[in-house]
């Protein structure tokens, strides 16, 4: 149905020089036909040229081998991480401000090199105080020893005097007896006997006094010897205080325990250390980059394939060549969570090795028959694809895309893509193309 109002609308007229839609469509179609024709001609001549070139290229001399299955060693690949054998966390157990800590992560250090210093003036004061205590204790010891010597001299004097008193007592007893006998005979008077009795009593009293003096001198010696023992104990205690203070003071200087490299800096100059934590204040982490080992996690099911002294093939990273190394340690207790063991393999010194690197080992688990393997040099890659050339009909090279397996001793396993009896081209792969005529020279 026609809209009546449209009949009266003014019709658009084309601008001068403007093409009509029909003419535009004809021109576009012509352009497409022209482009397609050119592309078809280029493709035709290119294909013709390639076929003509292939046909005209003289045969390429190649070497071949006949694909045959053979026994292949079965291996188990396990991975792990390179770890340092010798490492240390350097810390301090004294309280103070860090006044010297110049090294940074990555710096190499030498054994005995001073790496950090802590302000230990308090420790220095304690050391001086302890040394003063030692001096006082040694003075007391000397005084006690002098007292013992003096008491011993007094004892010796009393012992010598006792000998004299004993002699006098013996004479007094003899005289008293003689006077008593003479009195019975009437030869002497009672007064003379009384004088003899008095002399005997005086000699006995003198002996008693000397014995008391000896006991006193011995007691003095015992007391002095006890004082010596106490003074010796005080000297030892004071010396221990000096040793402890000196040790604490030495904790203020941290030196490298071995040649190594700083792997982490855990504190900085100006910070205050805390001696009350379990391990003190940690300052630096250090490891010896020349003593490394590969630590491999071995599942419990594969424990039978590893033993101490076993030589294994080690591969570190992706660009380093593999090498042989020996298992030196197997941690006997399995991890209860992962049911695995840790195997440790020392590594030879190398500038390219460092802790934290990824590593793999290969373990032999037996052999498998009927496996096809070819030289790795017979394999080529194009992008993500892997392929080989075989000699096909009419001595023409034929591409076979293959799926590969494990590589051992410059031989790669072919999982699919080749069959027994195929003639594999093993040399001169670069100039080959699919359909290229070849000349087998061996």
Q: pLDDT at position 4, please?
A: 39
Of 333, 357, 381, the residue at which a domain comes to its end is 357
Determine, yes or no, domain membership for 4.
no
Question: Is the predicted pLDDT of residue 46 greater than 60, yes or no?
Answer: no
Lowest mean pLDDT among 41-50, 110-119, 219-228, 379-388: 41-50
Contact 84, 349 (CB under 8 A): no
Determine, yes or no, domain membership for 24.
no
Q: Helix-strand-coil percent breakdown of the chain, rounded to 5?
A: 40, 30, 30
Does 200 share its domain with 271? no
Does 324 share its domain with 348? yes
152 CB-near residues (< 8 Å, 6+ apart): 217, 221
Does 106 share its domain with 133? no
- The string over 395-431, giving b where at least 16 C-beta atoms fall within 10 Å of a residue's C-beta and e elsewhere, is ebbbbbebebebeeeebbbbeebbeeebbbbbbebee
Higher-confidence residue of 100 and 119: namely 100
Does 126 share its domain with 242? yes
C-alpha to C-alpha distance for 50 and 151, rounded to whole angstroms: 126
pTM of the model: 0.51
C-alpha to C-alpha distance for 193 and 178, rounded to whole angstroms: 9
Mean pLDDT in residue range 391-401: 92
- 329: domain CATH number? 2.40.30.170
Question: Is the predicted pLDDT of residue 92 greater than 90, yes or no?
Answer: no
Total residue count of the chain as it appears in this document: 442
* R_g (Cα) of the chain, nearest Å: 54
Query: How many C-beta neighbours within 10 Å does residue 296 have?
Result: 24
Determine, yes or no, domain membership for 127.
yes
Number of domains in the chain: 4
Determine, yes or no, domain membership for 23.
no
Beta bridge partners of 385: 382
Q: Which residue in the block uniquely carries the two structure tokens 């340092």?
A: 84
Determine, yes or no, domain membership for 32.
no
Does 143 share its domain with 232? yes
User: What's the whole-number average pLDDT of the chain?
Assistant: 80
> Nearest CA to 409 among 439, 438, 376, 381?
376
Question: Is the predicted pLDDT of residue 47 greater than 70, yes or no?
Answer: no
C-alpha to C-alpha distance for 186 and 197, rounded to whole angstroms: 17
- 377: domain CATH number? 2.40.420.20
Measure the CA angle with vertex 180, ends 175 and 183; round to 5°: 125
Higher-confidence residue of 275 and 28: namely 275
Does 114 share its domain with 131? no
> Nearest CA to 398 among 437, 362, 365?
437
Higher-confidence residue of 3 and 379: namely 379
Does 91 share its domain with 137? no
Q: Ranked by mean pLDDT, which of 55-69, 196-210, 251-265, 399-413 comes out on top?
A: 251-265
Does 387 share its domain with 412? yes
DSSP readout, 127-193?
A: HHHHHHHHHHHHHHHHHHHHHHHHHHHHHHHHHHHHHHHHHHHHHHHHHHHHHHHHHHHTSS-HHHH
Does 166 share its domain with 219? yes
Of 357, 387, 411, the residue at which a domain comes to its end is 357
Lowest mean pLDDT among 199-203, 224-228, 327-331, 421-425: 224-228
Does 240 share its domain with 133? yes
Full domain range(s) for residue 304: 78-82+291-357
Determine, yes or no, domain membership for 416.
yes
C-alpha to C-alpha distance for 343 and 307, rounded to whole angstroms: 9
Q: pLDDT at position 207, please?
A: 84
C-alpha to C-alpha distance for 115 and 108, rounded to whole angstroms: 11
């Amino acid at each position: 149905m026609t809209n009546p109002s449209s009949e009266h609308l003014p019709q658009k007229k084309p601008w001068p020089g403007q093409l009509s839609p029909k003419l535009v469509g004809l021109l576009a179609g012509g352009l497409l036909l022209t482009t397609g024709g050119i592309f078809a001609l280029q493709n035709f001549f290119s294909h013709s040229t390639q076929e003509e070139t292939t046909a005209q290229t003289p045969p390429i001399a190649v070497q071949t081998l006949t694909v045959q299955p053979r026994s292949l060693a079965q291996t188990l690949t396990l991975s792990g991480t390179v770890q340092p054998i010798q490492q240390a966390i350097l810390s301090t157990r004294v309280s103070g401000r860090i006044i010297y800590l110049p090294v940074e992560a990555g710096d190499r250090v030498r054994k005995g090199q001073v790496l950090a210093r802590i302000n230990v003036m308090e420790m220095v004061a304690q050391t001086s105080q302890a040394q003063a205590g030692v001096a006082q204790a040694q003075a007391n010891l000397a005084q006690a020893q002098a007292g013992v010597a003096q008491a011993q001299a007094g004892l010796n004097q009393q012992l010598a005097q006792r000998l004299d008193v004993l002699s006098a007592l013996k004479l007094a007893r003899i005289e008293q007896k003689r006077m008593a006998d003479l009195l019975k005979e009437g030869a002497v008077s009672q007064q003379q006997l009384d004088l003899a009795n008095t002399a005997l009593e005086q000699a006995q009293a003198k002996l008693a006094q000397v014995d008391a003096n000896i006991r006193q001198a011995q007691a003095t010696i015992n007391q002095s010897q006890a004082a010596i023992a106490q003074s010796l104990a005080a000297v030892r205690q004071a010396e221990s205080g000096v040793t402890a203070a000196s040790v604490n003071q030495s904790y203020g200087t941290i030196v490298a325990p071995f040649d190594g490299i700083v792997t982490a800096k855990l504190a900085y100059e100006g910070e205050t250390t805390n001696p009350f934590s379990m391990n003190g204040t940690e300052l630096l982490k250090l490891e010896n980059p020349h003593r490394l080992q590969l630590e491999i996690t071995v599942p419990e099911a594969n424990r039978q394939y590893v033993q101490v002294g076993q030589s294994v093939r080690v591969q570190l990273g992706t660009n380093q060549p593999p090498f042989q190394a020996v298992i030196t340690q197997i941690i006997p207790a399995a991890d209860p969570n992962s049911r695995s063991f840790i195997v440790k393999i020392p590594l030879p010194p190398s500038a390219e090795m460092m802790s934290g690197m990824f590593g793999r080992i290969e373990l032999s688990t037996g052999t498998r028959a009927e496996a096809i393997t070819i030289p790795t040099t017979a394999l080529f890659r194009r992008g993500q694809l892997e392929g080989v050339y075989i000699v096909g009909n009419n001595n023409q090279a034929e591409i076979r895309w293959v799926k590969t397996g494990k590589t051992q001793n410059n031989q790669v396993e072919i999982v699919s893509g080749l069959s027994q009896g195929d003639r594999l081209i093993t040399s001169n792969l670069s100039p080959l193309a699919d359909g290229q005529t070849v000349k087998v020279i061996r």
